Chain A
Amino acid sequence: MSLTAPFRILALEVVILGLTVAFLLTERLMLSALWLGVGILAAVGASRWTAGEDGTPWALLATHRGWAVGGLVVLLLAVPLLLRSSPYWLFVLVLAGVHALMAVGLNVQVGSADMVNLGFAGFTAIGAYTSAILSRGLGLSPWLSLWIGGLAAAAVGVAVGLPAARTRGYSFSLVTIAFGIIVYLSLINLPAVGGPSGLGSIPPFSIGGTSLRSALSVADLHLPPQAGSYYLVLGLLALAVTSALRLHRSVPGLVWNALREDEIATKVLGVDVVRAKLWAMGLGTFFGGIAGAFYAHTVGFIAPDNFTFLHSVMLVSMVILGGADNVAGVLLGAVVLTIIPEKFRAFQDYRLLLYGVVLVVMLHLRPQGLLPRVVRTYASVPRRPEGARRPEPVAADTVAVR
């Protein structure tokens, strides 16, 4: 049993990732649909095969975390090799990574604390423009300006949060919508930042004088120019996911969940609600700002039209359709909702129309998200021997009130 468990996990990961790559590489739409069907069936089958008592593979993945994470990292690192023949799809994956980075940040607000931020694109714009201007105008290294962009976005996030923390529900959403539109309109009307035509020739990330936008070749391996950006966004994503998971498991994550379940009860318990909300604003927008800045240096060109209300809505739908408050779900949502519209490339003009249809249909088919929120469990001993009874799950709200 102990020998087969890691094997099963690796098999699960290979199946899912392999089918994803096959799906990406299939240019004919009918064939893609076929692959998608096979992929879903195989993924469901494989997760059944690895499922524990509760019917999901989570328990197995948690007990053999080293194998699970290690296998995933190796497989993800190998993806550019598999996609050598189609750099376009590698670029789509980089874009998916940017969206995932933004969605992980947004999830802190929308998923954990139920602060439905519908102006997140505005915050990512702050990060992107700050970093672009610092590196383009002042000659700062993108490696440094990236973090300054994140900090700038976080500062603005907290500044908006100061008044916004007084509101909640739809009022909070409207404050963020208004902020997002103000940022968009300001960018358009400020000639200093390029106005409607945006900012171009933003310097790329470079290592020892070699731009990350140029083709990589290690020994005999020739990787497409997008590989560098792919690895960098993976690194940033690893950082963001690690921090998000740690936040989720620690007191701030618990406080945010408590806010979501019952703000008054949380307040009564003596939690500083405004401070918790400000942390959610600051941390979430920090990731968003870094993602925006990364996008600016990777693509080399940003314009106000990259940061519209529609983008904010798409980010929220990635969080919700992926699985609010479940980091793995949010990543999946970001990847799926980035790849699907690109697959509709064949329909050109009808792409956005189909996106709308897919959004509505998915909301109906899977309202709880692709990977629903997991009920928090607290075990006295972190690693139990296999076959031992799991303790009864404790709902997050019960814990928070206790």
Chain B
Amino acid sequence: MTAASSRRSAASGHALPVQAAIVVAGVVAMAAAGRFSIPIGPVPITLQTYALFVLAGLFGGRLGLGIVLAWLACAAFGLPVLAGGAGGWKALVGHTAGFLAGMAAAAYVCGRGAERAKGWPSLVALFAAGHVIVLAVGWAGLASFMSPGPAFETGIQPLLLGAAAKSLAAALTVRLVSR
């Protein structure tokens, strides 16, 4: 049994108030991670996907998805929880909408995967795959404003190195915390 799977059984075994507390803490973590934002172009580099995969890895797919949806709902109501303290429905449906939708999908996929993953190398691969989901959906969203080529060059390419680093860091964090 991996750390993630033991965590998952622990989390899903929790009573509803505990799960709700996990979601609230998760939203706070996502908002805090968005404050570490480097505006390098149309899409900033943030710690959001790092926080996302740590949360999904620790608490599983269902709670991971719940956290992301609650976080996006907070943003829709105008709370400054997105990258760089942005909020409001316009930020939600803007040119980074694809990245946000991708994060919801990746939280579920990686959370479910982490429940079965054995060892940290498989977590790294899983989170890298999660990043591919986020970046692919984000790219599709960005490509509604410009051609796919320039959208990749300006919005995706600068994020690739960070995505690899965050996959590794998130896997190690999950491994350390759940040990």
A and B: partners?
Answer: no
Measured CB to CB, the residues of A under 8 A from B are none
Measured CB to CB, the residues of B under 8 A from A are none
